[in-house]
Chain A
Amino acid sequence: MYNFSLLIFLLDCSASFLPVLTLNQSLCMFVYSLWDFPHCCQSMQTLSEQPSKVYQTRLDEKKRLVIRNPQYTYYEVREFTDGHIELLPRVLASPDDVLSARTVKMMDTAVSHLNQGIVSSPVDTSLLFSLLDADERKEVEEARASAKGQA
């Protein structure tokens, strides 16, 4: 698991004094788990080494911190026991990309086996057609016809 910070807030108060971070963009509503990909994280690693902006800030009356000229709308917030907080920029996931953890695990195993040449024998589809109702059969026949057309 990669852990690269984009911005680190160091405040002059103890960790126990810190309230939950609430920013102008309703961050807490959009906290996304990170699925790391090396091509993304390489750039993030270099970012954390030299901050382009460093400034002091304080909580306002509603216990919010302001990020000046933010580049992104959504962030993952990571709070640490020593009081520092990390923000990692996020983009909204497409509904297509939201999967069950079990499905991902299932696919991990299947692809691992596939790469070793291990898959099931071909499905015998001869009996499947009888399971379908009239509309569905028509659709399958359309698909077969369209395949012939494409060929």
Chain B
Amino acid sequence: MKFAIRFGVPEMQELWERLSIDAKEGTLSGSDATLYKRLAKAVLLLEANPRYPGLQSHEIEVLSRRYGRKVWQSYLQNNTPAAGRIFWVYGQGQGDITIIGVEPHPEDATSRGYERVELSDLPPQEKSEKL
């Protein structure tokens, strides 16, 4: 089954459009060119098979809980999470995949000391109740 890949609105869509236009015009900067190429490869792999081992797709439970639907993470480079990760969900329609986010965020690369959110959870409930 071939999936249709969509982007979340507005930021992912705008990012992809900007990168695509810059690529056509040949004005992509070094880091943007790398990101565009990695995203392009990830899009092609997701389209073909979201469970392809090279993507290392796995559910991120804290995000699934946050959004009330399963959120998956895939690596932009084989076995190298530091090279970038994308977050995606199935939908909106059957056979659709929507990429909702990318990490690191493109603006983080240009800003110093950017804020990070650590999704630290409280300890398991049954353990807490002993206190």
Assess whether A39 is in contact with B1, with CB atoms less than 8 Å apart.
Answer: no
Whether A119 contacts B44 by the Cβ 8 Å rule is: no
Q: Mark A106-147, 1 if CB is under 8 A from B, else 0.
A: 110111011001111111010011011000100110111011
Q: CB-CB < 8 A to A14: which residues of B? A: none
Asked if B117 and A139 make an inter-chain contact with CB atoms under 8 angstroms apart, the answer reads no
| Cβ contact within 8 Å between B49 and A100 | no
Question: Which residues of B, 20-36, contact A by the 8 Å Cβ criterion?
Answer: 23, 36
A143 and B13 contacting across the interface, CB-CB below 8 Å: no
| Interface positions of A from 7 to 40, Cβ below 8 Å from B | 32-35, 37, 39-40
A102 touches B43 (CB 8 A): no
A104 vs B73: C-alpha distance when bound (angstroms): 13
How many A-B contacts if CB must be within 8 Å? 217
A70 to chain B minimum Cβ distance, whole angstroms, is: 10
**Interface range for A:** 35 or more
**How far does the alpha carbon of A103 sit from the alpha carbon of B104 in the complex, in Å?**
7
Taking A71-B130, A71-B131, A95-B81 as contacts, is the C-beta distance between A131 and B101 under 8 angstroms? no
Is B105 located at the chain interface by the 8 A CB criterion?
A: yes
**How many positions in chain B have a CB within 8 Å of any CB in the partner chain?**
69
Distance of A80 from chain B, by nearest CB (Å):
20
CB distance from B67 to the nearest CB of A (A): 5
CB atoms of A100 and B104 under 8 A apart:
yes
A47 at the A/B interface (Cβ < 8 Å)?
A: yes
Shortest Cβ gap from A96 to chain B (Å): 6
Is there an interface contact between B37 and A32, defined as CB atoms closer than 8 Å?
A: no
Contacts of A96 in B (CB 8 A): 58, 60, 73, 81
A55 within 8 A of B: no
Q: What is B's interface to A at a CB cutoff of 8 Å?
A: 1-2, 4-13, 16, 23, 36-37, 40-41, 43-45, 47-49, 51-52, 54, 58, 60, 62-63, 65-67, 69, 71, 73, 78, 81, 87, 89, 91-92, 96, 98, 100-105, 107-108, 114-123, 125, 127-131
With A119-B8, A119-B92, A128-B43 known, 9 other A-B pairs at CB within 8 A are: A35-B119, A72-B123, A89-B128, A96-B73, A97-B60, A97-B118, A98-B119, A101-B115, A114-B98
A/B interface sample: 14 pairs, CB < 8 A: A34-B122, A35-B117, A37-B62, A44-B128, A71-B131, A89-B122, A89-B128, A90-B123, A102-B108, A103-B102, A120-B13, A123-B7, A131-B23, A143-B48
